[in-house]
Amino acid sequence: MTARALTLDPLDALTPENVHLFEYQGEPFAFVIPTTRRFALREETAYLLRHALAAGGARLTVGLWKYTPQQLLASYAGLQRLNEAVRVSVDEMKRLEQRLREEAAETDDPERLISIVQNTRRDHYVYITRRCNLACSYCWNDGGRVDGEGPDEPDDALLEAIADFIIANSGERKELEVIFFGGEPLFGIEKIAHFAEYARRRAAPVGKEFRYLLDTNGTIWNDRIAQVVKEHRIYILVSLDGAAETHNPHRPFRDGRPSHHVILANVARMLRDVPGQVGARAVLGDPSYSLTDTLNFLRPYRFQELQVLYYSFAGFSGGSRNRVLGTESVEQYRAALAQEVNFILQRLGEGIATQVEIAFLREMKFRLTGTRHFHRCYLGRSQMVFQTNGRIYPCLYLNDDRHCLGDVYRGIHRWDLIREYGKATVFTEEQCRHCWARFACGGCCLARNIAFMGDPYQPIPLQCERLKEEVRAQAYLASRLAERGVDVFNRFLQAMTGELPLDPAAPVAGKGEQCA
């Protein structure tokens, strides 16, 4: 009698704790959890891996109803190699977890914590004004109303104190990043000029240099603004949501007038006055809005970069809260991602290089090459926010009394808060430690968790599911790109993200990296 099953030795490391098997657009992929690497699989390899995962490290008995013994044995040989690699990565991850615990314990020493904070590269958000002339529907300030106490603008003495604070607390870092924020910061162009001029005088003698970015709604521009932006090499990121019909419903002036035509006129002047210093950020304010239409509208302007965000997490306003907590489905986001993937493949097929940066591609290179994230961010380390009253906060979205770290005159006194949030990793957060995408994600944004769930360590379910959809879409896109060759993949990746290309000798997470 012909054998109807094949019995194979265990693949002890290929368990659901270490490998996630999924399909995207009908194609099977394996996601190795400890390394975040993805593998495009042949059907017979996926069939065998599915049995291995179900066996949970025990011997495999596989039916021969669909594939021949020769096909399965060839796939088994590939899975044996993967099994050994996963076993090594699991051991490595245990060592990394122990190291992170030791590093977290180091922060119990106050002097060590201060040194870590000072030498961590971070963005310094400086509020130039609370005033804003727009009422964006997804504004995290609920339509431009900035929370917290303080004057509309900082005085010059406070701006100087902020610059001095940043320099004094920069450790060994030579480049100091400042983002001018608001409100609409261009209402305070003289404040910006004063800060930049003073900061330059103070930083140069100690061998440091400030670099600037400014978020603007694009409704204000004149010759004086252009002069300041050019002189201090301030990079401009303007908010523009594509065509008028997608922009105006969500970015009206405070009196209800449309803003689109005003911004377009100013964008033309910006690109003329400070070429190479202007990028754009578009928010898809409704799930029905077309990514392709938005990008096709914006591309002719030749922005230095273009970011696209999906509306649900664009801000913390009441409308955004309602969307996040219940009205947008994962299916809608999956459809939007599929649109992105198809758009990218179409553009590549046209042979057109683009500087477009789409939100889910920002970390594509790092995820494809096995870069892992253990923290979403270090609150108070990777970002500090300076309000118009001189108070310091760890995040743009945490500007209440509980999260005030101190002020620029008396310094930081809430080191306990920085220490507490710094210890939060995917190993310590209960909701994350068993998630298959945890090392691709690093844990959800603590500020968003607080805003939407009331608990910094309780992730937003929809955000988690969206991240998983991104991981799947990236694996599929990488597979399609890799089929066209590593050189093509590298050119595309460099154009999309500005990152250095992948090492041609390194495997690309596509069909060229199959298990068998």
CB 217 within 8 A of CB 263: yes
Question: Is residue 51 classed exposed, middle or buried when 0-12, 13-18 and 19+ CB atoms within 10 A define those classes?
Answer: middle
Quote the Cα angle for 228-229-235, to 5°: 160
**CA gap 121, 176 in Å, rounded:** 8
SS3 17: coil
Q: Which residue has the higher pLDDT, 200 or 64?
A: 200
β-strands 123-127, 60-63 pairing: unpaired
SS3 359: helix
Question: What is the average pLDDT across 381-396?
Answer: 92
Lowest mean pLDDT among 55-59, 116-120, 174-178, 337-341: 337-341
Model pLDDT for residues 264-319, shown as the tens digit of each residue? 999 999 999 999 999 999 988 776 777 778 888 998 888 888 888 766 554 554 44
DSSP calls for 449-503 = HHHHHS-TTS--HHHHHHHHHHHHHHHHHHHHHHTT-HHHHHHHHHHHH-PPPPP
Q: How does 418-427 read in b/e, with b if 16+ C-beta sit within 10 Å?
A: bbebbbbbbb
Give 242's contacts (C-beta < 8 A, 6+ positions apart).
Answer: 282, 289, 293, 294, 295, 297, 298
Give 257's contacts (C-beta < 8 A, 6+ positions apart).
Answer: none
pLDDT value at position 376? Answer: 74
The separation between CA 447 and the C-alpha centre of its own chain, rounded to angstroms, equals: 14
**Residue 301, amino acid:** Y
Enter the pTM of the model: 0.85
Model pLDDT for residues 100-123, shown as the tens digit of each residue? 899 889 999 999 999 988 888 889
Q: How far is the CA of 217 from the CAs of 124, 239, 240, 317, 436, in angstroms?
A: 20, 5, 8, 17, 38
**CA gap 291, 340 in Å, rounded:** 7
For the chain, the structural domain boundaries read 1-106
